[in-house]
Amino acid sequence: MPRGECQGQGWWHGRFRGCGYRLTIGREAILDVLSKAPGHLSAEDIYIKIHPGHPNVGLTTVYRTLDVLSSLGMVSKLDFGDGRARYELAEGPKGAHHHHHLVCTDCNKVIDYTDFIDEEVELLRETEKGLGKKYNFKITNHVIQFYGLCDKCIHKK
Amino acid sequence: MPRGECQGQGWWHGRFRGCGYRLTIGREAILDVLSKAPGHLSAEDIYIKIHPGHPNVGLTTVYRTLDVLSSLGMVSKLDFGDGRARYELAEGPKGAHHHHHLVCTDCNKVIDYTDFIDEEVELLRETEKGLGKKYNFKITNHVIQFYGLCDKCIHKK
DNA sequence: TCACTATCGAAAATGGTTTCCAATTTCAAA
DNA sequence: TTTGAAATTGGAAACCATTTTCGATAGTGA
Ligand SMILES: [Zn+2]
Ligand SMILES: [Zn+2]
Ligand SMILES: [Zn+2]
Ligand SMILES: [Zn+2]
């Protein structure tokens, strides 16, 4: 099967092999960290977490693997605007852990929230419906992030 | 008046002076470009646009000025995840240039859409209000992106 | 075994942004 | 005017996350 045309369902081993990729030690370690560590990890975060147990996995491999995982739709690459990308396991909009982000532009604190208010749910539903129809898109996912000042940072200065 | 404590209303000259900043030629040129050029400009875009008329305004000054403008709330710093920040005059979510993204995960086509129906704007406003209250956030910006398959890619395979 | 890839890590390169610094400009007070 | 502290400047250098390069290694199927 040619690369890049594998967007189907499945999990780790099968998902990799079926797409022509090999599930190597390093890649497995990276997936392991992503699945266990909470929150949003940078490439370097992952590298540092892996290093004690796998000192021969380089930062380059972390970047490359995250790229592959991202293209397979297994991880989401997030951008909180602080100049370094964060990664988290993707579970899709209907997955149990789907959440949106609230990011403080001052201290970079990130809040994951899952308890969407009615307006937000309706906003998503209506927008997806309208956009899908207008642009002939089959919408499968979304990223929603609000930026602003957190509790503490509002009262600074 | 000490710096950094001026978030009040006003426009260019008064706004600057009142905050202890000086409205210099370079700064005025930058504001001028921002107010005339459509869309989102990178620091370098601005530098290049200004250079013919103001060859003595350096890229560093552009960055510094954008920083000041940003801290005064006069421009929004946007992050589209391509590694370079974009800037636009702050006009709030209702501003003329604000848009969201519709991204095809198969061919990477990106549609900028700005045609929010009033209802969507309203729901977004309500959502921001609700989130702001719930998490004590002062929300100033947002990134909303929908992913899916475009017209052509739906019918492939 | 034998090619053919995929994958690897280290080092170097990249490129947007920030920092540093010495020179210049501004502007209110003297 | 004159003056001096503070603000501002441009260019160079530094910074730093990420990407590219490259030669070596390991898995794969025949
Ligand atoms: Zn969602
Ligand atoms: Zn904060
Ligand atoms: Zn998250
Ligand atoms: Zn918007």
Average confidence (pLDDT) per 10 residues, chain A, 157 residues: 48 78 93 89 96 95 95 89 91 75 88 85 87 91 89 80
Interface size between A and B, measured as CB pairs under 8 A: 130
Q: Which nucleotides of C are covered by protein (CB under 7 A)?
A: 6-11, 15-20, 26-27
CB of B26 within 7 Å of some strand D atom: yes
Contact (CB<8Å) B146/A126: no
B133/B146 Cα distance (integer angstroms): 26
Q: In angstroms, how far is C1 C1' from B105 CA?
A: 43
The answer to whether the beta carbons of residues A104 and A148 sit under 8 Å apart is: yes
- Which nucleotide is at minimal CA–C1' distance from B77? C17
pLDDT score of A60: 96
Tell me whether A131 touches chain B (CB under 8 Å). Answer: yes
Dihedral of alpha carbons B62, B72, A79, B141, sign: negative
A62/B63 Cα distance (integer angstroms): 32
Q: Across the strands, what pairs with B77?
A: B87
Instruction: Outline where chain B has alpha helix (H).
Output: 12-18, 25-36, 43-50, 59-71, 118-135, 151-154
The answer to whether the beta carbons of residues B147 and A139 sit under 8 Å apart is: yes
pTM for this predicted structure:
0.83
Strand ranges across the sheet with B41-42 = B41-42, B85-89, B75-79
Ligand 4 centre and the CA of B89: distance in Å? 14
A11/A4 Cα distance (integer angstroms): 16
Q: Which of B134, B136, B148 sits opposite A139 (nearest CB)?
A: B148
Residues 6+ apart with CB under 8 A from A38: none
Ligand 4 centre and the CA of B118: distance in Å? 13
Length of chain A in terms of residues written: 157
Q: In angstroms, how far is D12 C1' from A35 CA?
A: 45
A47/A58 Cα distance (integer angstroms): 7
User: Which residue numbers in chain B have pLDDT < 70?
Assistant: 1-11, 91-97, 116-117, 157
- Which nucleotide is at minimal CA–C1' distance from A85? D17
Contact (CB<8Å) B137/A7: no
Residues of chain A in contact with residue B114, where contact means CB-CB under 8 angstroms, are none
Indicate the DSSP class of residue A119.
H
A73: tokens are 């739709």
Q: Which of A130, A136, A145 sits opposite B142 (nearest CB)?
A: A145
Domains of chain B: 1-90 (1.10.10.10), 93-157 (3.30.1490.190)
Q: How far is A25 from chain B (nearest CA, A)?
A: 28
